[in-house]
Amino acid sequence: MEYIDLHAHMVSRTTDDYREMAMSGCVAVTEPAFWAGYDRPGVDAFIDYFNRLTDFEPKRAATYGIAHFTWMCLNPKEAENRELTRQVLEVIPRYLELPTVLGIGEIGLNRVTKNELAGFKDHVDLAMEYEQLIHIHTPHLEDKWKGTKVIVETLAADSRIEPHRVMVDHAEEHSVDMILDNGFWTGLTLYPVTKVSPARAVDVIESRGPERICVAAACDWGESRPLAVPEFIMEMRRRGHPDSLIRRVVYENPIEFLGQSPKFRLPDRERSAVAV
Amino acid sequence: MGSHTGTSPLTQRELIAEYFMEHRVQVLELAAFLDRLDRAREIDADDDFRLRSIRAALDVLVDGDGDRVQRVQMIFSDPRSELLEELDTQSAKGAYDPEA
């Protein structure tokens, strides 16, 4: 089954991963800017990273017939440094003009500090100024509920925000309702340990329905599964769900959200030269 | 019962037939982990906040009140809404420590 992985940190993955994703049905990925596993030394490191996201990765993905899109930001793990945040915010607009940049993300919170929230609001202002879609990272583990609540309340209080243009990602059972009830899109990221398993993601779809919910691997430099979406597809079938419902979650829903950007286009299968 | 009654397309019999073995092993893994803690060379973390959260979660699993996963998630969660003044640590620990 064809699918779109809406959240995949492919800079951390091998070309073999692209190949296996293509062979398992992946037609497009979107890659939010994120933390490298260590704090970057300065704005030049971000420029190098953004160049890779907008140049090298789309070419690498295209080799296997996968469309690659990206999102720009300074991630919340580095937002404690307000001066660095200001410097990175200054360079982001030049990237927003590029053909594969869909919006601002993944912004959000990490430990839910005052500076993180200030950086989050700065990015929201940038998104509003340049009329961009927003992709949001919610905190991990014990900080999930608290951070999601602060993010949702902050956005709900901002009259400029159109919830249908915002993806609040990394939802789990205790955060998904507050996201959906406020009109936002949400994502279930399929991780082996720290987020949602494919089985629990299916539980969420069964109990809440498929409206405004996507799933993604969020594969990165940590223990993660680039083929997590096919695992979700297999689990949905194991539970007795029809392919029409599965396709809605893994293909049609991402298109509905991402298609709000005029830049989002799927590969033309009649013309693409695929090296698989 | 939970608040989403009837949303699984499979019957209880079908769910057990399909999924019993993989959940049986998860119960055994947890039992073995708790035994391992009992056998530790030194009993030096019996009041650890993470262990306390697992014990509280185990109570939820058997109380029969439903909505288990949401209630267990909240046991592991920081229930506050206040912002931290500054970054204390880069990564979360998996459970909320009310004494930190």
Lowest mean pLDDT among A28-37, A153-162, B1-10: B1-10
Q: Is the peptide bond before A80 cis (omega within 30 degrees of 0)?
A: no
pLDDT at A269: 73
pLDDT at A275: 46
pLDDT band at A276 (very low <50, low <70, confident <90, very high): very low
Helix spans in B1-100 (H): 12-38, 49-62, 68-76
The overall average pLDDT reported for chain A is 96
pLDDT band at A169 (very low <50, low <70, confident <90, very high): very high
pLDDT band at B2 (very low <50, low <70, confident <90, very high): low
User: Best interface-test mutation with A: which of B21, B74, B90 has the largest number of A CBs within 10 A?
Assistant: B90
- Select from A239, A200, A206, A177 the least CA-distant residue to B4: A206
Q: Is A174 within 8 Å of B77 when comparing Cβ atoms?
A: yes
pLDDT band at A272 (very low <50, low <70, confident <90, very high): low
Residue A113 has pLDDT above 90, yes or no: yes
Residue B55 has pLDDT above 70, yes or no: yes
Residue A274 has pLDDT above 70, yes or no: no
Q: Is B4 within 8 Å of A110 when comparing Cβ atoms?
A: no
Calpha distance A124→A136 (Å, rounded): 10
Q: What is the number of residues in chain A?
A: 276
Residue of A nearest to B96 (CA): A142
**For the segment A30-73, what is each residue's pLDDT rounded down to a tens digit?**
999 999 999 999 999 999 999 999 999 999 999 999 999 999 99
**For the segment A180-211, what is each residue's pLDDT rounded down to a tens digit?**
999 999 999 999 888 899 999 999 999 999 99
Phi, psi of A214 (to 5 degrees): -120, 165
User: Best interface-test mutation with B: which of A146, A188, A205, A244 has the largest number of B CBs within 10 A?
Assistant: A146
In contact, A148 and A168? CB cutoff 8 Å: yes
Q: Is A142 within 8 Å of B10 when comparing Cβ atoms?
A: no
- Residue % of chain B over a pLDDT of 90: 88
pLDDT at B91: 85
